[in-house]
A and B are shown apart, each in its own frame.
Chain A
Amino acid sequence: CASQTTSPDQSRDRGDWDTQTERLRALEAWSIAGKVGLRTHEGAKSANIDWQQRPDTYRILISGPFGAGRTLLRGGPGNVTLISSEGRFEAQTPEALMEQQLGWSLPISALDYWVRGLPAPDTRKRLEHDDLGFPQRLQQLGWTIEYRDWTHTDDLWLPRRLVMTYGDLRATLVVTQWNPMTDS
């Protein structure tokens, strides 16, 4: 995959965000590796996440250490398959499958945008920016997404830490490896 140069110590500047929004929207192929931490009143759990996005397909691996208890979501136009040690399951949406098989879910179709710092299209939103013009808090589909940290990779500022809340569910997504396969 594309070699990526991460420059952690670079600092964000005012206006950086606007200049790259178009490129972020055009980004249809990317991959991330990181963690998801979930907390509800019932308790907390965490999992590793490896998400490979292509223009009309995606693969999301949710796993524990040693790859234990792993679940693979394979999405294509109009259908998605979940593969785990329990078997192979199909449905229209990833959210339904995750709830069914994992007991929790994240709005995958919207997260495809949120993880790039963009609001999901065609849905009401409330978006607040920080003093550098970067997205700080996005409210959409009943979720509140806070952008807590950013990483600079391949000349793009990309979210590194998102805290997403929905009712009493609090999900923290930490992206430790961002790989935007920009064809430029």
Chain B
Amino acid sequence: NPGDAAVRLANLLEPVKSYSADFEQQILDDSGQRLQKVEGHMWLSRPGKFYWKVSAPYQQVVVSDGHKVYLYDPDLQQVSIRPLDKRVTHTPALLLSGSTDALTETYEVTRRQTSGLETFTLIPTSPDTLFESLELTFEEGRLQGLQMADSTGQRTAIGFENIELNGDIAASRFDFEIPEGADVIREGG
């Protein structure tokens, strides 16, 4: 029954205390044409902490210390700070670092297996979400890809490589220090 898929997904995510990988993120329009491609590295530590570092074609950093999210743009010398949106349906990165039981309450989860890949499709149960469906793909039990489709048919597809599971990541990784001379913008509370 559908509950099994959610349980299976929770079992895959639960043992992940930390996760580090190179990523490639593409945004595709409704006909599948690429609108944007960025690459970088992501560190994740449960619960609620992530460090998303875009290195090409530009530099950009998003850091969550579990309470606040810092977006630092070195080209613009701008740091915007906003409270971490706890709604799992709004911050997919949080989904990976959030608690797994939040998963089952917030999504309808279905699962399919194709050769070595196990893919979970998550449909948010509440309409107030940024995406209509979210797909998580696992290879040999390791998260390997994430894909979000929104109401306009556009998709954000993220692929992970050089994945390190439960490696030790210094706690300081997720403490963001505001660089000298950066323009600080506080948003939303």
- Are B156 and A44 in touch, CB under 8 angstroms? no
Q: Within 8 Å CB of A177, what residues of B?
A: 57-58
Q: Of the listed stretches B8-16, B135-143, B147-155, name the one at the interface; the rest are far from the partner chain.
A: B147-155
Q: Are B76 and A48 in contact (CB under 8 A)?
A: no
Q: How far is the CB of B11 from chain A (nearest CB, A)?
A: 26
Segment at the interface with B among A64-72, A104-112, A116-124, A131-139: A64-72
* Chain A interface extent, by class: 20 to 34
Q: Are A85 and B71 in contact (CB under 8 A)?
A: no
Q: Does A61 contact B (CB under 8 A)?
A: yes
Is the C-beta of B178 less than 8 angstroms from some C-beta in chain A?
no
Given contacts A59-B35, A61-B35, A84-B152, contact A35 B52 (CB under 8 A): no
Q: What is the distance, in angstroms, from B32's C-beta to the closest C-beta of chain A?
A: 14
B73 near A46 (CB under 8 angstroms)? yes
Answer whether residue B36 sits at the interface, using C-beta atoms and an 8 A cutoff.
yes
When A65-B71, A67-B27, A177-B57 are in contact, do A46 and B76 touch as well, CB less than 8 Å? yes
Bound-state CA distance A60–B118 (Å) is: 35
Number of interface residues of B (CB under 8 A): 30
Binary flags per residue of B17-40, CB closer than 8 Å to A gives 1, else 0? 000000001010100000110000
Given A66-B156, A67-B27, A85-B150, A176:B58 Cβ within 8 A = yes
Flag if A46 contacts B80 (CB, 8 Å). yes
Q: How far is the CB of B159 from chain A (nearest CB, A)?
A: 14
Check if B169 is an interface residue, CB within 8 A of chain A: no
Q: From residue B72, how far is it (CB to closest CB) to chain A in Å? A: 10
- 9 A–B contact pairs at CB < 8 A? A37-B76, A46-B80, A63-B27, A65-B52, A67-B27, A67-B154, A72-B29, A72-B154, A85-B130
Which of B52, B76, B150: most chain A Cβ within 10 A?
Answer: B76
B110 within 8 A of A: no
Q: Is A43 interfacial (CB-CB < 8 Å)?
A: yes
With the chains together, A52 CA to B76 CA distance in Å?
A: 22
B127 to chain A, nearest CB (A): 12
Q: Residue B62 contacts which of A44, A45, A65 (CB distance < 8 angstroms)? A: A65
**B164: interface (CB < 8 Å):** no
Closest Cβ of chain B to A47, distance in Å, is 10
B180 beta carbon closer than 8 Å to chain A = no
* Cβ < 8 Å to B, chain A residues 138-184: 161, 172, 174, 176-177
Q: Is B92 within 8 A of A66, CB to CB?
A: yes
> B183 an interface residue at 8 Å Cβ cutoff?
yes
Q: Is the CB of A70 within 8 A of B154?
A: yes
Q: Which residues of B contact A90 (CB under 8 A)?
A: none
- Hey, what's the 0/1 contact readout for B76-96 against A, CB within 8 Å counting as 1? 101010000000000111000
The minimal Cβ–Cβ distance linking B101 to chain A, given in whole angstroms, is 23
> A41 CB to closest chain B CB, in angstroms?
13
Residue in A43, A45, A50, A88 whose beta carbon sits within 8 Å of that of B152 in the complex? A88
Which residues on the B side are within 8 Å of A27 (C-beta)? none
Task: Output the least CB separation between A173 and chain B (Å).
Answer: 10
The verdict on B75 contacting chain A, using a C-beta distance below 8 Å, is yes
| B75 adjacent to A85 (CB under 8 Å) | no
Instruction: Name the B residues within 8 Å of A34 (CB-CB).
Output: 58, 75
Assuming A72-B35, A88-B152, is B73 touching A37 (CB within 8 A)? yes
Nearest Cβ on chain A to B181's Cβ, whole angstroms: 14
B185 within 8 A of A: yes
| B136: min CB distance to chain A, Å | 15
* A35→B183 CA distance, assembly (Å): 15
